[in-house]
């Protein structure tokens, strides 16, 4: 599924399958995504002038901020990376520099593109691997000798003239046996390329890429490319050699070019905890580099050439989605230049009992469906009544109000606590049917819910 085929309403419809509520946020991200396609359709002179409409999602933890961005990237097959803004430090301090998030995104994208390219040459690689196996089983100097099938008392392959048709030759018969899996249990020695690299630890607050040093390539050129011998079964050897040949067949220059283009044109970077770098600097303490991080982040969001080991990557059209609870800070506490680069602000709603009921039952990956499927593997049928689901949702809402509000994540904690005994005893309960009703929920959770101290530690 590509962005070209998706209207904003269709994007929202797809997000609805996994995320309950938050319609305003879904509309905003769907418009931002569609604008990317629109940008590709405008005249080339104007295309580069159209900047992406970056978004800040505001809301407490567990309301679906990250899930919206993650599902968006899967939906459109866009390169996606999630980073915590609080992990970055201003240049000059020890810690990660902001440019590393672009490098991480490119690395993820190139690996994904490489896997797709390897899949395309899978059949060709399998044929080459097959020939390598046949060379090991039947070396050329032995083609005039008789070869006997392992574990066979009466079937023998007799020598033939090498000039005969290949499919009637010894090699042809061997190939047929190999394809039928008759040789899978025979052990052979195979030579593999040694791809291991020496481990080098460097203590520096400057990334090696900023220094223009690519140690992997440097050592790859200095160290001799060796091979190692392994004794494996033919079936396993076929799989190992197919993967090796697929890697050799892939044009890495093409992969890198495609990866850089995908990042530049459709990359999405999700900046979590952006509120943690908001606020004015203080003269001491851990906040000393907050504004510095914002200033380092600004050129990346505006559009900047980031140096990577694969070459420069432009961030002009990467979509940035910021996210934060903004309890102690406000978006207006960000430096004005950075605020201007996040023109869309969306506040997500806190979740209550009604939303929890829908989260437990409606999405394609609903929590209750997950537990039912898990226990089904043990032959145990679990059924949840409507009043049980309502009780679970009510308890989740009450605990969130009494303690820290962690949104829908509270449901995971409550479900684990509720089903702990069933999950433990399931292997010995094959064929049984268990009904989880309101009484069962109250019996398991009432004491914990009523004791605020217990709630804090257990739920």
pLDDT at 365: 87
Helix (H), strand (E) at residue 412: helix 409-418
Whole-angstrom distance, CA of residue 394 vs CA of residue 203:
51
pLDDT tens digit sequence for 243-257 = 989 999 999 999 999
- Between the alpha carbon of residue 47 and those of residues 40, 53, 81, the distances in Å are 7, 14, 25
Q: How sure is the predictor about 92, in pLDDT bands with cuts at 50, 70 and 90?
A: low
- The span from the CA of 343 to the CA of 348, in Å, is 16
Closest Cα partner for 408 from 397, 418, 419, 416?
Answer: 397
Global pTM?
Answer: 0.78
Question: Could you tell me if residue 233 is left (phi over 0), alpha (psi between -120 and 50 degrees) or otherwise beta?
Answer: beta
Q: What pLDDT shows up at residue 151?
A: 52
Query: Could you report the per-residue pLDDT of 202-259, keeping only the tens digit for each?
Result: 444 445 444 445 555 555 556 556 677 878 888 888 889 899 899 999 999 999 999 9
Look at residue 297 and tell me whether its pLDDT is greater than 50.
yes
Residue 457, pLDDT score: 80
| % of residues, the chain, pLDDT over 70 | 82
Which pLDDT band, with edges at 50, 70 and 90, does 94 fall under?
low
pLDDT given for residue 368 in this prediction: 95
Angstrom distances, CA of residue 243 to CA of 127, 133, 192, 238: 12, 14, 11, 9
Instruction: In whole angstroms, give the CA distance from residue 118 to residue 106.
Output: 18
pLDDT of residue 224: 57
State the DSSP H helix or E strand holding residue 239, giving kind and residue range, or none if neither.
Answer: helix 234-249
Q: Within a 13 Å sphere around the CA of 188, how many CA atoms are in the beta-carbon half?
A: 23
More confident: 53 or 447: 53
Q: Is residue 343 within 8 Å of residue 51, measured between CB atoms? A: no
Q: How confident is the model over 384-399, as pLDDT tens digits? A: 999 999 999 999 999 9
- Higher model confidence: residue 457 or residue 414? 414
What domains sit in the chain, N to C, each tagged with a CATH number?
3-115+257-347 (3.40.50.300), 122-249 (no CATH), 353-449 (1.10.8.60)
What was the pLDDT predicted at 222?
60
Determine what percent of the chain is predicted with pLDDT higher than 90.
43
**pLDDT grade for 90, boundaries at 50, 70 and 90:** low
Write down the pLDDT at residue 219: 56
What is the rounded distance in angstroms from the CA atom of residue 128 to the CA atom of residue 248? Answer: 11
pLDDT band at 140 (very low <50, low <70, confident <90, very high): low
157-to-149, 186, 396 alpha-carbon distances in Å: 8, 16, 71
pLDDT in tens, 256-294: 999 999 999 889 999 998 988 886 554 444 454 788 889
pLDDT digits (tens, 9 = 90+) for 156-181: 444 444 444 544 478 888 888 888 88
What pLDDT was estimated at residue 156? Answer: 46
pLDDT per residue over 433-453, tens digit each? 999 999 999 999 887 877 777
């Amino acid at each position: 599924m590509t962005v070209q085929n998706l209207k904003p309403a269709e994007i929202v419809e797809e997000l609805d399958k996994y995320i309950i509520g938050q319609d305003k946020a879904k509309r905003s991200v769907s418009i931002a995504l569609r604008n990317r396609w629109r940008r590709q359709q405008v005249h080339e002179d104007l295309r580069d002038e159209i900047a992406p409409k970056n978004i800040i999602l505001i809301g407490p933890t567990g309301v679906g901020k990250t899930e919206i961005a993650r599902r968006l990237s899967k939906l459109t097959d866009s390169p996606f990376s999630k980073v915590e803004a609080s992990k970055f430090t201003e240049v000059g301090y020890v810690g990660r520099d902001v440019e590393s998030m672009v490098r991480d995104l490119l690395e993820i994208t190139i690996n994904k593109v490489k896997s797709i390219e390897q899949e395309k040459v899978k059949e060709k690689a399998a044929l080459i691997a097959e020939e390598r196996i046949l060379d090991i089983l039947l070396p050329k100097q032995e083609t005039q000798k008789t070869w006997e099938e392992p574990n066979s008392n009466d079937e023998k392959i007799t020598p033939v003239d090498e000039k005969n048709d290949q499919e009637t030759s010894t090699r042809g018969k061997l190939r047929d046996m190999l394809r039928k899996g008759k040789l899978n249990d025979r052990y052979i020695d195979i030579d593999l390329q040694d791809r291991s690299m020496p481990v080098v630890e460097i203590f520096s607050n400057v990334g090696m890429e900023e220094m223009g040093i690519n140690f992997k390539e440097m050592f790859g050129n200095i160290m001799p490319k060796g091979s190692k011998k392994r004794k494996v079964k033919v079936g396993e050897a076929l799989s190992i050699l197919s993967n090796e040949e697929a890697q050799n067949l892939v044009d890495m220059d093409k992969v890198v070019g495609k990866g850089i283009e995908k990042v530049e044109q459709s990359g999405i970077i999700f900046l979590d905890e952006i509120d943690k770098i908001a606020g004015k600097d203080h003269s001491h303490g851990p906040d000393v580099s907050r504004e510095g991080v914002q200033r380092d982040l600004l050129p990346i969001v505006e559009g900047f050439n980031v140096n990577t080991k694969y070459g420069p990557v432009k961030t002009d059209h990467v979509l940035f989605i910021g996210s934060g609870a903004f309890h102690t800070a406000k978006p207006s506490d960000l430096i004005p230049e950075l605020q201007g680069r996040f023109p869309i602000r969306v506040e997500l709603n806190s979740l209550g009992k009604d939303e929890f009921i829908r989260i437990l039952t409606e999405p394609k990956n609903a929590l209750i469906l997950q537990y039912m499927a898990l226990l089904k593997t043990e032959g145990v049928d679990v059924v949840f009544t409507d009043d049980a689901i309502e009780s679970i949702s009510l308890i989740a809402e009450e605990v969130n109000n009494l303690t820290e509000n962690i949104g829908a994540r509270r449901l995971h904690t409550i479900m684990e606590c509720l089903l702990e005994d069933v999950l433990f005893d399931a292997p010995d309960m094959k064929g049984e049917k268990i009904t989880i009703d309101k009484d069962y929920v109250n019996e398991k959770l009432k004491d914990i819910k009523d004791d605020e101290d217990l709630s804090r530690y257990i739920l």
